[in-house]
Chains A and B, each alone.
Chain A
């Protein structure tokens, strides 16, 4: 390919060649997987009980909402965009859920309303970006302010959810396999929450959409080279708006999961969580310039972040701010790794 490697280092949106060999194609995801295993090995050698199956399952339970957000973020980033509004839209979803339930709505319509709200929000953002040619960064920043502000309009205080359906959902545990016997003779089971299943199903659907549908191919094509995609006659405009609808929908689902997880709606839910999602996507091997990456990588990225958090909480004496420093360092390693990968592919 015509590699116009800018010596200044400012990455131009040159179409990136995707390697033909599986190793080159999945290299970045493989690196994430190796990191995840490595982090687990470090954790398990330092702490007993770290490799307990429930510790691993808790990773999924605690980060189910982040997995869903990272999936939505992957779509946006694959087109070369970014969505800073995800955390705020998620918070707005928890607020609306709580408010509607308090107003006496049935759970079904509430869930439907929140999902529609998320889609509409994403549609507005996508429209703003596509039609008015506002940069995604600024458009989603404005959306973030709007959603966060609307949270406070809904209620400045935390709203608790007492609806029986949501309460039973938050308490329900799906038993997987027996892990032992409690002191009173009951059998203990490894369990997950329903939200984990929702998150994993969404990952599966997203992977299918990206790799087996026209929409998915167009997403990759736009990220690879928008001009070429347009010349090829692909529905660039529609797809560009749709990826923000997807991220809005994922934010709404993330909000619903968080609402069942915490049984409350709170305006300051998920402040900065969009940065976690971006970090997860990047650690998962997706290029921020778009066109290259996998949803499964983002899932692994979330698990890496979650494991680091678990290690630091297991350590006990380590203060929480080490999480930030470690995640920053990890981001650095992965970004430099990706950079080297790109340079090697070009030569």
Chain B
């Protein structure tokens, strides 16, 4: 089983290394990290910080997808979390105080948890397909965020709040530490307890797992609440990093990036087995790709074309057809690769 997990992460890892290699080739100092102003500084550190929100959302998404679901509402939740936190801080007489920031974050998380419960309720109790159940909040959510901010871009002037998304702790970006802690906690919870297996069993066959005594309904409900929690944290990181709540643009399309990260990481949208390591690598691939395109001097908008190419390549390499051919003719790997690409182009 170990070797299977390893092979699932193999291709994404190669893709990530290749991307980094392109960067090093373009800019030999790319991997360099130095101390500056009391914290580490370098492209790698930037990637670490910028990956955090995608990674957080993708962690929640991994568990949702493992139950054969999908959560399209996370982008809207990111906007709502930022809107709730920022409007509170902006309205407070002492925006810099720890109490204000904590209360703001607490409320934002609470609001998102309630919305997560709502998503989970629609999916697990009412029985609406996940994609459409979360599409409701995806559509309405940004409207709600606009309602909270009154249609304005709410800027906050709170050094403490800014330090969450843009600050450093022990020379590392705070946001990366937060994402790391959430990842570690999730890994611990799912892999050191039976929870991970239960989630997978629900994803593979909800009916069978129910008959086997697994509380499928509560598990499905929980993963949507967890996904909302992750989105809330990501929303706080994003709004803190730009010190503003922009209901239209904060976390725009982050749900798609997160789903991509999960799929690139080898977790199937059909549910079942999931890989948090794969998701981590997937999130890094997406952010590194963005950095690569910028550092190569290509127009940022064209990034989408490269993203598409990477997704197509990774999906092709993981597709059953290509995998079978790999097994059948291991020697002709390079040639197969070429063929597969041509078909799509």
Residues of A near any B CB (own CB < 8 A):
4, 6-12, 82, 124, 127-128, 131-135, 137-139, 141-143, 145-146, 148-150, 152-153, 156, 267, 275, 278-279, 282, 288-289, 319, 321-325, 327-329, 331-332, 335-336, 339
Contact = CB atoms under 8 A, between A and B. Distances in A.
Given A267-B301, A327-B139, A328-B140, A4 B207 contact: yes
Contacts of A332: 122, 136
Contacts of A143: 308
Interface string B311-323: 1100110011110
Interface of B: 67-70, 122-133, 135-144, 146-147, 151, 202, 206-207, 210, 216-217, 220, 247, 256, 259-260, 263, 268-270, 299, 301-309, 311-312, 315-316, 319-322, 340, 343-344
Nearest to A124: B344
B302 A152 contact: yes
Contacts of B123: 9-10
B259 A141 contact: yes
Nearest 6 pairs of A and B residues by beta carbon: A328-B140, A149-B304, A149-B305, A324-B143, A9-B127, A146-B308
Which secondary structure dominates chain B's binding surface? helix
A128 B131 contact: no
Nearest to B143: A324
Contact of A288 (B69, B122, B129, B147): B129
Given A9-B125, A10-B68, A267-B301, A132 B321 contact: yes
B127 A11 contact: yes
Which secondary structure dominates chain A's binding surface? helix
Given A145-B308, A152-B304, A339-B127, A325 B220 contact: no
B308 A149 contact: yes
A133 B340 CA distance: 13
Nearest to A267: B301
Contacts of B124: 8-9
Given A145-B308, A275-B139, A156 B321 contact: no
A10 B220 CA distance: 9
Contacts of B122: 332
Contacts of B322: 132
A90 to B, nearest CB: 15
A145 B305 contact: yes
A12 B259 contact: no
B151 A321 contact: yes
A10 B67 contact: yes
Given A132-B319, A138-B269, A328-B143, A149 B127 contact: no
A156 B300 CA distance: 11
